[in-house]
Structures are given as structure tokens and as C-alpha cells.
Chain A
Amino acid sequence: MPLAQTPTIVPVVVDDALCIADKGCTVCVDVCPLDVLRIVEGPDGSPVTAHMKYDECWYCMPCEADCPTGAVTVNLPFLLK
């Protein structure tokens, strides 16, 4: 029995132009209490940018507050905004 692929709009948005994950930064991934952020890897396995992998957000904001380049924005999850 396969699992469904149900789409969800995620609250945490990363501006790829500002994100410095490619330089090894993982601050937003490190500080998230719910551990919902991950780094997207390129075809060769090198880090590219941060993104929200799991829609399990408490909209608490450490990822936005601690990002050194201001690349992260925390929106309210659609269901409650």
C-alpha cells in the first residue's frame, strides 16, 4: 500500500540568493527545535541551500533570528494564519 504524496505549503521560506549553505553554514538546521530543516545537496553531494523538509513548524523563529545572512523567513502555517 503506497503512501500518498499530498502537497503542503510550508511556512519556512529560504532565499536561495542569500543562503550560504554552500559555504558550509548549517545554523538554521542546527537551531530548529523540531528539526524540520535540511540542506539540499547538488548532484555531487555538495551543499546548495537550506529548505524546509518537514511541515512540522512551531513558528518559533530561531531559524530566522539566528540566520547570519537574513535568508530565512518564518511565515505562519496556512492552517492558522
Chain B
Amino acid sequence: MDEILDGTTQIDCDILIIGGGTAGPMAAIKAKRKNPNANVVLLDKANVKRSGAISMGMDGLNNSVIPGYATPEQYTKEITIANDGIVDQKAVYRYAEECYSIIEELDQFGIRFQKDQNGEYDVKKVHHIGTYVLPMPNGDTVKKALYRQLRKARINVVNRYMATRLLTGEGRIAGAICVNTRTAEFLVVRAKAVIMSLGAAGRLGLPSSGYLYGTYENASNSGEGYSMAYHAGAGLANLECFQINPLIKDYNGPACAYVAGPMGGYTSNAQGERFIECDYWSGQMMQEFYDELQGGKGPVYLKLNHLAEETVAEIERVLHIVERPTRGHFHKGRGTDYRKDMIEMHISEIGFCSGHSASGVFVDERARTTIEGLYAAGDMANVPHNYMLGAFTNGAFAGLDAVDFVKDVDFAEFDMAEVDAERTRVLAPTKRDDGVPPNQIEYKTRRFVNDYLQPPKVTAKMELAQRRFEEVRNDMENQMYVRDSHELMRSLEASAIMDCADMAAAASLYRTESRWGLYHNRVEYERDDENWFCHTILTKGDDGKPAHAKKAVDDYIVEVDDDEKDAYNNQRVTKTVAAE
């Protein structure tokens, strides 16, 4: 295994789905059910059995809109406010209307959701205004349940192939170029439609541990989706709205206030005091976290040690089995006992991810990108705060729309020279006898991301970042050296990470205002609704560098009253007279 072989195969399909984590499998299942004759290929860099952000499961649905608890109108309004108004509500509203049917479907797959004594869904309040969090007591079974459905639907699964570039022709999508991660053999897939579900750009910033793979996101989610969409000419929206999360320090996984919050846990400062009213992750919440640290009241902790034994035991049961089970090992190694100790938190490295923020490939309410026949769903598509249930639901939208789209089209012609050029680019590091290994290229890129792009954002620093990135890119293109096909995969990831770093700097420089709390805190600029109440769309310019445009926010379908707009900006706890 891992030797570099020569060879190219071509296959044809109706719909190619790239990424078999969460959105991808649901897109495949929905498309195949709607048209059992459609040839659907699900491709993954890893193995769909355990790939993607929910590799080991998920502890709950963070954004379920369940009749009796919340309405699509309430949810749409909440997300609009949480995302500082920059939301195309149509996509959020459609999600909110249809996600309940997806929950019922997941329930039929065998994924259980928490119910109360009356058999009703036991939904918890974590957001600032509404009630949307539904625990999943056996959330560790999600991937297995999905895999059973893929088998049942007879989806063609192609594991261990990494897509490196999309193919376009006749002004629409034509397929993708892929490379085997264990043999370096090429696979050209001609497809009438392509659905991208490649997850977040999670290996963009460097975790403070210095370990390249100690990221918040599954480290295999290294941003190829963003990079491929960019090179194909698709628009990417609001990339400056970084993902930054409050995490367990060093472990760099979620502290899980969403699990602990409804049971009485909360985020506290070093004095054990609450300083934010709401633990739901938003830009302003992260800004308050940052301010608390800057104000000398840190470290910030997750506080559980005031809770009853039974409650702590239940929190442990959930957190140590589901999503990131090594969390239990971590605490044990440090001797941290939730009953006695608070859990030290820190501010994560930056990334792109619409699952938590709003940085993604631009899509409409049918998951269509700006390129005909190309779809995107899940963490990499720009429906804000869409989490796992958003990946499932928007993945379903993509699959359902794509299967209709392919009925009326044939394969688009593409230029074979593009395939040859891509082979040359991909294999260049295998043709050298000497040079810089991909892990060093990647480390240097990501260290500069931390040094210059981690908010608060400063213009001069971001301009320096662009210069440093250009130098490292030059080294990458002329000196990167790999010895086997596994290292070749890492070199391709390093290249995607470099593209994302460039985009992160360019997008952040373009929006000359501050918005989304810490996510886009540009210290030289105030929030400026007059000029910047809009999306920013980044595309690949004619000069091969990022180009920018403003795009108006669609008219709201759910109005937000003036006195509601600031709900997420006013979340610092203020002491009442009685408390003092």
C-alpha cells in the first residue's frame, strides 16, 4: 500500500456526491429513492462508515424545529438575529419547515431522540430566545444507521478517493477529477450533477497545542470543498465570518454547554460567576469570552461542580460516549473530576464552517450554488448555523433537486487538457528527489493564519499574512516533496489549506466594518449597516486571485422588530441591585 502507481480510470454517473459524512449520505438516499434508476455515486476520501464530522456520533440536534416547541417563523427570526441580520431567510425558513420530517426519518433509521414521560420530544432551551435542542441518547449510532440505509438504497460507494478539482464545461458542471489516497491512481468522474458535501475547512488555524491534527473539526475536513468550489468559479459567501468556538483547552473539543446547560451547567469566569446569559455559540458570545479573558477574569470554565451527583453522572455518560469519547480519557489523564473541578476552556483556532457560523459556498434554498448543476450542503454551504440537522436537511434538498436536474441534461463536454493539467499539478511533488514535506508547508501556513488572521483583525497584519502566504505558496508549488501516496494526499490538503488561508485574508480585508462579534472584529472599523448590510461574495478573479462583490440580503419573509435585533448583542450578565 501507499506506493505511487500510474493510471487513470473514467466512470460516468448521473449524480456524483463528494463527501460521505452527514449531508452526502442523505443526499444520496433521497436522490435514489426519488428515482431508483438514477446512477448515484458517493465518493469519500476516507471510508463512509466513519467519515466526517460525526464520525463517532453526535450528542443532540442543536437546531430542531419541533411543532409545539417552536415554529419556522421563530427559528428563522432567531437565526437572523444570531447572525447579525445577514441571512437569506428563504433557505433558513425552508430548513425550519422541513427539518421535522427529517427527524422523523432519522427516527425510523433507528436513531433515537430523547422523549419525556408522555412520549413527546424532550426539547431543551439553549438559544437566546427559542427552544431547539433535542438530545440523542444513542447518538453514537448515527453513522452505523446511515451506512445501513446506504446499503439498503444500493448507493455506489467509492472510498479512499479524494476529489481534487471540479470539471466544468458548457457553463455548467461536468464532473470531478479524483485521486486514490493509497495508490495515487486517477479517477475521472463524468457527472450530470455534482453535490459537494466535504465539510468544514477545519485545518485552517493551528490549535494552540501545536498538534496539526488536534483541531476542533474532524481533521480530515481540510477545506477541499471550499478550494474546489473556488477554482471552479463558484461564489463563496461571507468567508470573513470565521468559525471560532469555546472549547476545552488543549483537548480542543466542545465543552458541550448545549448538553450541560439544560442540566444546570454554565460557562463561568475564574470566580465561578456567570458572565454571559446564553451559552449558544455566536460571534457576540465569543466576543464576551474574549473580553472576559482580556479583562483579567479568566480563565473561562465550564462549571458543573455545583450540580448533584446524579446530574453530573448523566452529563458524563453523554459526553464520554458520544461525539468525542476520548474526552473522558483526557479528563482522567489530567485528574479532572466534574464533581470537584471546573473545566478550563479556551478560544479555538479559526476555520470556515456554516454549521456554526456563516462562512460557506453560496447556495439558495434548493442547495444550488452559482454554477449550474453544482450543489453544496452541510458545513461547507452557507446556510448559517445549520449544524448536523441542517446538513441532513439541506443534503436532502440537494439530492431531491439534483435528481430532477439530471433528467433533462446530458453530460457537459469538458476540455481533456484540464485533466492533464491537474495530473501534472497533483503529481509534481512525486517527481522531485528532494524538497519540503507537506507537513512543514502546512504547519507554516497555519502558523501564519494564527499569527495574522486570528481576530481581533488588524489590516496591516492581514496584509502581511498575504505576503507570507505568497512566499509559502511559492515554496509549495516549487519544492513540495512526497514519498508515497499517503503523503501525496497530505500535499493536496496542504494546497487546499493554502487556498483557504488566502481566501480568509482576502475576505476579511474586503469587509471594512466589524460584524458577528469576534468572528469579524476589525479593530479599525465599527459596524456599518449603511455600507455593509450585505453578503460578500468571493470568486476567483481573472488574475487567479480572489475577487469580491457585495450581494444584497434578500427581503425578509419573517420581519424582525427593532427591539429584537439586539438580543444577541446584549448578553453580558448585569448584576441586579438586589444581587449586589
Which A residues are within 8 Å of any B CB, using their own CB?
1, 3, 30-35, 38, 53-54, 56-62, 65-66, 74-77, 79-81
Contacts and interface: CB of A to CB of B under 8 A. Distances in A.
B289 interface: no
Contacts of A53: 486
B329 A75 contact: yes
Given A57-B213, A76-B333, A80-B214, A34 B50 contact: no
Given A58-B215, A81-B333, A35 B489 contact: yes
A31 B22 CA distance: 16
Interface stretch (B163-171, B204-212, B347-355, B542-550): B204-212
A55 to B, nearest CB: 8
A39 B334 CA distance: 32
B47 A31 contact: yes
B250 A80 contact: yes
A69 to B, nearest CB: 18
B50 A79 contact: no
A34 B219 contact: yes
Contacts of B1: 38
A65 B212 CA distance: 23
A62 B329 contact: no
A66 B51 CA distance: 13
Contact of A33 (B210, B218, B326, B434): B218
A56 B213 contact: yes
Nearest to B49: A31
A56 B213 CA distance: 6
A65 B326 CA distance: 11
B330 A58 contact: no
B4 interface: no
8 contacts: A31-B47, A32-B50, A33-B46, A34-B46, A35-B182, A60-B55, A62-B50, A62-B55
Nearest to A66: B50
Contacts of A66: 50
Given A1-B434, A33-B218, A58-B213, A65 B49 contact: no
Given A34-B213, A80-B211, A59 B220 contact: no
Contacts of A81: 250, 330, 333-334
A54 B219 CA distance: 14
B324 interface: yes
Interface string B485-509: 0100110000000000000000000
Contacts of B128: none
B486 A35 contact: yes
B160 interface: yes
Contacts of A1: 434
Nearest to A34: B220
Interface residues of B, number: 39
Contact of B251 (A31, A34, A75, A76): A76
Contact of B56 (A38, A56, A60): A60
B233 interface: no
A75 B252 CA distance: 15
Which secondary structure dominates where chain A touches chain B?
Answer: loop
A54 B326 CA distance: 19
B52 to A, nearest CB: 8
B437 A35 contact: no
B181 interface: yes
B329 A60 contact: no
Find the residue from A1, A56, A60 having the highest chain B CB count within 10 A: A60
B325 interface: yes
Contacts of B324: 60
A45 to B, nearest CB: 12
Given A33-B51, A81-B333, A58 B486 contact: no
A61 B330 CA distance: 13
A56 B212 contact: yes
Contacts of B160: 35
Contacts of B2: 38
A79 B210 contact: yes
Contacts of B207: 80
B56 A76 contact: no
Interface in B41-66: 46-47, 49-52, 55-56
Contacts of A35: 46, 160, 181-182, 486, 489
Given A3-B437, A80-B252, 13 more contacts: A1-B434, A54-B486, A56-B219, A58-B213, A58-B219, A58-B220, A59-B214, A60-B50, A60-B56, A65-B325, A76-B329, A77-B213, A80-B251
Contacts of B47: 30-33
B209 to A, nearest CB: 4
A58 B252 CA distance: 10
Interface string B207-231: 1011111110011100000000000
Contact of B220 (A30, A31, A33, A61): A33
Interface in B11-52: 46-47, 49-52
A53 to B, nearest CB: 8
A75 B123 CA distance: 34
A60 B52 CA distance: 11
Contacts of A30: 47, 49
A54 to B, nearest CB: 6
B49 A61 contact: no
A1 B333 CA distance: 40
B218 A77 contact: no
Interface in B157-201: 160, 181-182
